[in-house]
Amino acid sequence: MKKCFLLLATIFVCFNFCTKVCGQTADTLPLSERVEYLISQLTLDEKLSLMEHHNPAIERLGLQEYSWWNEALHGVGRNGTATVWPMPIALAATFTPFLVRQVFSHTAFEARQKYHEAQAAGNYGDYAGLTFFTPNINIFRDPRWGRGMETYGEDPFLTAQMGLACVYGLQYSYSLKWGLWNSDRIDTVHLTAAACLKHLAVHSGPEGTRHQFNATVSPRDLWTTYLPAFEYIIKNGDVQQVMCAYNRLNGEPCCTNKELLVNILRNKWHYNGLLVTDCWALNDCWEHDTVIPRHETHATAARTAADAFGSEVDLECGSGLAALRTAVDSGWISESKINEHVRRILTTRLRVTEENETGECGRPRYTPKEIYAESLVLLKNKRVLPLPTTTKIHLTGPNAADSLMPLGNYNGTPEHTVTIEEGLREKFQLADIQNANVIVYAGGLNPQLEGEELKVDIPGFYKGDRTWIELPENQIQDLKRLKATGKPVVLLLCTGSAIALEEVEPLVDAIMVCWYGGQEMGTAVAEALSGKNTSFGRLPVTFYRSTKQLPDFDSYDMRGRTYRYMEEKPLYPFGFGLTYSEFKLSDVSFDSKTLTVRGKVKNRKNKEGVRLSKAVVQVYASTPDIKGSPKKSLVGIDFIFLPENKTGEVEIALDPFWLRVYDEERQEMVEPPAGTRFVLEVGFSSADPNAVKLEWTW
C-alpha cells in the first residue's frame, strides 16, 4: 500500500510539472522553475558549454548564443560609439556616490540599446551582452600601479560607497526610475544589466609579474584593508558577479583559493551569485611559458579545473572546456556540482536578458561635463585662479592637444572629444608666451604610459606600472623654463594616479589635478579655470612627496602605506582639495545612540565672480587603544553647496560596519568590545589642522 501511494504521488508530481511546462511553455515559467526545467533537460556537454564565457546556442531549449564578456568601466566600452565618462579615480574624487550612480544608470541605458541592436543584427559576440566586468574595487595601495586609475582610490570606505553606487546604477536603472534603488527587497527588482566586483582579492600590481605574483598578506591587512569593500557591497547590493584575480594570495592562485572562495566568499559572506575567473587566469595555474612566467601550481589543466570548478568558480573567462570535461570524466567534479554552477549561470543570464521590462531606463540628471567638473582637484592656488575670460593664455605641454588622453582605458568611442586646447580656446584668448598674462601647462601622464600590462619599457615605466612617481624629467625642465619668464604658471596635471610634486610645487602658482576626464574634459577644465564651475573634488589618494616615501612596491604590507598607516607627512593628504571659497565648520556634535554626526558649515568668503562652492565634510574614526589599528579611517562623508556668507547644516549617519575592529584571536572583523574608546575627527581632509575632535566610548 505504501509503495502504491509513493508511485501515485510521483506520477502526480510529474503530471503537475508536465502540465505546468506544457500549458505555459518553459519560457513563461517563473524564473526559478524555468532554471530547474532547463537543468533537467540539458545534457552534460551542454551544461559544460555554459560554463565558458562564450555560450553556444542551444536552440532546442530556446537559449541563444551569448558572451558574458563586456566592459563598462566608465561607460560602455569596446562596443562602438558610447558616452565616455571620467575614469573611476576621477569619479572617486567627487566624493559623491550619487553622481557615480547617475553615471552607471546612463551606462546601463546605453548598454540595453546596444544589446537590442546587437540582437537584431545577430551579433552574439564579446562586448555585445549585458553582463559587465565592472567595477574594479581593488584598493589603490601604491601609486606605481598602472591600473589604479580604474579604482576608486586607496580608502576602503570610499571605494565601497562608490562601488556600491556603480552596482546600483548599472543593475537597477529601471528601479532608479521608480525610486526603488534602496528597496529592502532589492534582489526581486528588475535588472538592467549585471555588475561584477573585481578582482578578488588583493590585486593591485605589479602588472609585469601578475601571472606569477604571490601577494603575501597578513590576516589583519586582509580584513581591514583588502576585503571590506567586497564584503560591504556583497552584503548590500545583490551584485550578480564576482571575479577572482590573476595573482596568488598567500601561496594559492585566487581562482583556486578555497580559503578565499569557499570559506570567505560563500560561507562567511553567504554570496550566492556568480563567480567568474579573470580572463584565462586558470591557464596561469598549469601552463608553462618561457616568455611570461606563470604560477604553475597545478600539474595539468584538468587538475586546475577540478580545484576551480570543484569548489566555487562557476564560469571561466577563457577556453578550458576540454580540461573541465576531463575533470568530470575523472570523477573529480560531480554532476550535482555542475548543476549548482549552471543554476547560478542561468539565473543571472535569464534575469538580465529575458526578465527585464521593455520600458526606457531612467536617464541621468547630469552631463559628462557636469560630473567631471566635480572631480577636478585644486591643490595650489597662489592668487591666480579663477581667471577672467579676458585673460591672455599661453597654453603648452604634452597633454594640451591630446585627444586620446581624456578617454583613459577600457573606453568606448565618443561622438566627440573636447581637448584641453579646444576647451580653453573657446573660453579664453590664445596668445604667444611674450604677450600672455598666464601660462597654462598641460602635463602629467597618459593612458599609453600607465595601464594594464602595457608594452612599455622606458625609464620610469614598466609594463604599465611606474618605477618612480615623480613628474617626467623633461616636464620638470619645461616648468623651470616657464618659471624663469616671471609670469604666473598654472599646472594642469593629467593622470590616473598620484604624482610626487615636491620639486615641481615651487615652480608653479596653481596646480589642478585633471585626471583622465572623458569626452568633455576640455570644456570642464576651461570652466573651472574661469570660475564658472566651482564644484571641486577632493583627493581619493595620498600625494606623496617623493618615491622615497613609498615602501617596496611588491610588498602588500600596509605599514607606511596610504593615509591610514603612513607615518611621514605627505605633500597633499587624502581628502584634500581647495575651492574658490573659505569654509568654516562649527557646532559639531555626535549622538552616540544613533551614531550621527551633525554640524554647521559657513562659506565665509568667495573669490571674485564666484557664486557658490561645494564643501565636502569628512568624518574619520580611530581606536587609539587598539594595537595595530589604522591611525584613522574615513567612515562618513557629506557635501553642501553654499553661496558667500551663508551657513548650512550637515548630518552624517555612521554605519556600524565601518566601526568594526579586528579581532586578533578570531582573525576577523567584530563589533567593538564594550568600553572601546573612539576618536572622531570631523573636517575637510584627513589632515585638516582645524578638524573637530570628539571622543566617545562604545
**Residue type at 370?**
E
Say how far apart CA 239 and CA 554 lie, in whole Å.
30
Is the residue at 27 inside a domain?
Answer: no
- Is residue 6's pLDDT more than 50? no
The answer to the question of residue 477 being in a domain is yes
Asked whether residue 392 is assigned to any structural domain, the reply reads yes
Residue 531 and residue 658 share a domain:
no
- Paired with 612 in beta bridges are 643
Tell me: the pLDDT tens digits for 12-59?
Answer: 444 444 434 444 557 789 999 999 999 999 999 999 999 999 999 999
> Is residue 430 situated within a structural domain?
yes
The answer to the question of residue 11 being in a domain is no
Q: How many CB atoms lie within 10 A of CB 121?
A: 9
Report pLDDT for 635.
98
Query: At 693, which CATH number?
Result: 2.60.40.10
CB atoms closer than 10 angstroms to residue 262: 13
Pairing of strands 241-244, 274-277: parallel
Surface-to-core class of residue 459, CB atoms within 10 Å of its CB (0-12 exposed, 13-18 middle, 19+ buried): exposed
In the 8-state DSSP scheme, what is residue 271? Answer: -
Rounded average pLDDT over 79-88:
97
> Which among 525, 549, 578 is the end of a domain?
578
Percent of the chain with pLDDT over 90: 90
**Pair (599, 689) in one structural domain:** yes
| C-alpha to C-alpha distance for 439 and 659, rounded to whole angstroms | 47
Radius of gyration of the chain (CA): 27
Q: What is the pLDDT of residue 317?
A: 98
Tell me the pTM. 0.95
pLDDT tens digits, 134-143: 999 999 999 9
Domain of 508?
368-578
Domain co-membership, 301 together with 430: no
Q: Is the pLDDT of residue 130 over 70?
A: yes
Gap between the Cα atoms of 309 and 325, Å rounded: 11
Overall average pLDDT of the 74-97 stretch: 98
SS (HEC) of 246-264: CCEECCEEHHHCHHHHHHH
Looking up cell 508511485 gives 7
CA separation for the pair 583, 617 (Å, rounded): 10
d(CA 293, CA 289): 6
How far is residue 8 from each of residues 1, 5, 11, 18, measured CA to CA in Å? 11, 5, 5, 15
Q: 594 and 562 in one domain?
A: no
Helix axis angle for 156-171 and 97-120, nearest 10°, is 40
Q: Provide, rounded to the nearest whole percent, the portion of the chain with pLDDT above 70.
A: 93
Cell numbers found for residue 39: 537543468
pLDDT at 364: 62
Please give the pLDDT value at position 457.
82
Same-domain check for residues 183 and 129: yes
Please report whether residue 46 resides in a domain. no
- The per-residue pLDDT for 22 is 43
CA–CA distance, 25 with 544 (Å, rounded to integer): 63
Nearest to 247 by CA among 206, 275, 197: 206
Type of residue found at 7:
L
- Tens of pLDDT, residues 609-638: 899 999 999 999 999 999 999 999 999 999
Residue 372 has pLDDT above 60, yes or no: yes
Which alpha helices (DSSP H) does 121-195 contain, by range? 156-171, 173-177
Please check whether residues 548 and 697 belong to one and the same domain.
no
**Does the pLDDT of residue 255 top 90, yes or no?**
yes
User: Which among 323, 353, 383 is the end of a domain?
Assistant: 353
Look-up of cell digits 599646472 = 491
* DSSP codes, 498-517: --B-TTTGGG-SEEEE----
Distance CA 57, CA 64 (A): 4
Kindly report, residue by residue over 420-451, the tens digit of the pLDDT.
Answer: 999 999 999 989 999 999 999 999 999 999 99
What does the mean pLDDT of the chain come to? 93
> 566 and 650, same structural domain?
no
Residues whose CB is less than 8 angstroms from the CB of residue 2 and which lie 6 or more positions away in sequence, other chains included: none
| Count of structural domains, the chain | 3
pLDDT beyond 50 at 188? yes
Residue 463 and residue 609 share a domain: no
What's the pLDDT at 368? 96
Residue count of the chain: 698
Res 360 pLDDT > 60:
no
Beta bridge partners of 662: 669
Do both 560 and 483 map to the same domain?
yes
Q: Is residue 646 included in any domain, yes or no?
A: yes
Residue in 628, 631, 604 with CA at minimum distance from that of residue 686: 631
Nearest residue to 679 (alpha-carbon basis) of 661, 659, 695, 664 = 695
Rounded Cα distance between 69 and 128, Å, is 8
What span, in angstroms and rounded, lies between the C-alpha atoms of 138 and 146? 13
Q: Is residue 40 part of a domain?
A: no
Contacts of 283 (CB under 8 A, 6+ apart): 294, 301, 318, 320
Q: Measure CA 543 to chain center.
A: 19
639-648 pLDDT per residue, tens: 999 999 999 9
User: Are residues 619 and 568 both part of a single domain?
Assistant: no
Of 349, 381, 424, which Cα lies nearest the Cα of 191? 349
When pLDDT is averaged across residues 79-105 and rounded to a whole number, the result is: 97
Q: What pLDDT does residue 362 have?
A: 54
The residues with which 653 forms a beta bridge, in sequence order, are 596
Average pLDDT, integer, range 399-412: 98
**Residues 199, 245: contact at Cβ < 8 Å?**
yes
Q: Examine the fold and report which residue of 302, 322, 353 is the final residue of a domain before the chain moves on.
A: 353
By C-alpha distance, which of 19, 76, 32, 38 is closest to 415?
76
Alpha-carbon gap, residue 412 to 173, rounded angstroms: 20
Residue type, 156: P
Would you say residue 356 has pLDDT above 60?
no
The CATH number of whichever domain residue 499 belongs to comes to 3.40.50.1700
Confidence band for 652, pLDDT divided at 50, 70 and 90: very high
Domain shared by 219 and 337, yes or no: yes
Identify the CATH number of the domain in which residue 85 sits: 3.20.20.300
Q: How far is CA 572 from CA 538, 541, 646, in A?
A: 10, 9, 28
Confidence of residue 342 (pLDDT cuts 50, 70, 90): very high
- Please tell me the distance from the alpha carbon of residue 197 to that of residue 214, in angstroms, as a whole number: 21
Between CA 262 and CA 271 the distance in angstroms is 10
Mapping DSSP to helix (H, G, I), strand (E, B) and coil, where does residue 403 land? Answer: coil
User: For residue 243, which phi and psi values (nearest 5 degrees)?
Assistant: -110, 130
Query: Mean pLDDT: which of 1-5, 290-294, 341-345 is highest?
Result: 341-345
Closest-CA residue to 633 (of 578, 697, 566, 580): 566
| Shared domain check, 591 and 682 | yes
Local structure of 451: helix, strand or coil:
coil
In this predicted structure, what is the pLDDT of residue 341? 98
Strands lying side by side in the sheet with 465-466: 457-458, 461-462, 465-466
Helix (H) and strand (E) counts for the chain? 19, 26
